[in-house]
Structure 1
């Protein structure tokens, strides 16, 4: 398994941990992601312009696709670096859609249960609060058994 240098406060650190559990438990394929083997690392999962891999992700956008490299935690588009806040802003809707599907399937407290059951590594634990703000900051998104209003992330810089 590849080792990644991850930033503890990046919400995508926790999101990738959850996506890995979703893949192992079959939720990605159940949701409709197409699983394709790759020559390096894990399989690639693709649905509606979002392509996930253990090394990162790609989101199809008008013009150039957005790439996120998990190892370096950098976003690029058309070969140019994209600021993390802008990259995360582009991803929010796609990740919100996935988290809404997961919450509808398993219940609003499901992610909390995964954390309690699997006790994630320290970098993931350090990224949980930023992840909660990132995902929970979208209207109507149930996270950790509550619905967090959009205003909860105002001024926090957690995009």
Structure 2
């Protein structure tokens, strides 16, 4: 398994941990993500312009796609660095849609139950509050 330097306060640190669990439990493919092998690391999952991989993600946007590199915790677009707040703003709708689907499928307390069951690593624990705030527009998504 690849090791990544993660920022404890970055909501995507927690989001990627949850997405990894979703992939292992089959929720990504059940939701409609197309799974394809890659030469490095895990498989790539793609749905509606969002492409996920353990090393990062790509979101198709008008003009140039937005890339997030999980190892460096940076966003780029057209070869230029994008501020993290802007990158996360572009991603919010796609991640919100996924979390709403997960909550509808498993119930509003599901994510918290995963935290209790799997006891995530410290960087993920440190990123949970920023993740909750980032996706706070999802009613009753995280806490019950």
Deviation at 1:111, TM superposition (A): 0.1
SS of the counterpart of 1:71?
coil
- Looking at structure 1, the residues matched to 79 and 38 of structure 2 have their Cα atoms a distance apart, in angstroms, of 22
- Looking at structure 2, the residues matched to 79 and 38 of structure 1 have their Cα atoms a distance apart, in angstroms, of 22
Task: List 4+ stretches of structure 1 deviating above 4 A.
Answer: none
SS of the counterpart of 2:45?
strand
SS of the counterpart of 2:2?
coil
Deviation at 1:112, TM superposition (A): 0.3
SS of the counterpart of 1:8?
coil
- Looking at structure 2, the residues matched to 6 and 109 of structure 1 have their Cα atoms a distance apart, in angstroms, of 25
If the length of structure 2 is used for normalisation, what is the TM-score? Answer: 0.93
Deviation at 1:102, TM superposition (A): 0.1
Could you tell me which runs of 5 or more consecutive residues in structure 1 were left unpaired when the two chains were aligned: 135-147, 150-159
Deviation at 1:96, TM superposition (A): 0.1
1:4-83 → structure 2 map (5 Å cutoff): 4-83=4-83
Deviation at 1:118, TM superposition (A): 0.1
- Looking at structure 2, the residues matched to 81 and 43 of structure 1 have their Cα atoms a distance apart, in angstroms, of 25
Deviation at 1:2, TM superposition (A): 1.0
- Looking at structure 1, the residues matched to 71 and 107 of structure 2 have their Cα atoms a distance apart, in angstroms, of 31
Deviation at 1:119, TM superposition (A): 0.2
The equivalent of 2:115 in structure 1 is 115
- Looking at structure 1, the residues matched to 103 and 127 of structure 2 have their Cα atoms a distance apart, in angstroms, of 19
CA RMSD of aligned residues (A): 0.8
Deviation at 1:86, TM superposition (A): 0.1
| CA deviations over 1:88-137 (Å, ceiling 9, x no partner) | 00000000000000000000000000000000000000000000000xxx
The equivalent of 2:142 in structure 1 is none
Could you tell me which runs of 5 or more consecutive residues in structure 2 were left unpaired when the two chains were aligned: 140-144
Deviation at 1:73, TM superposition (A): 0.2
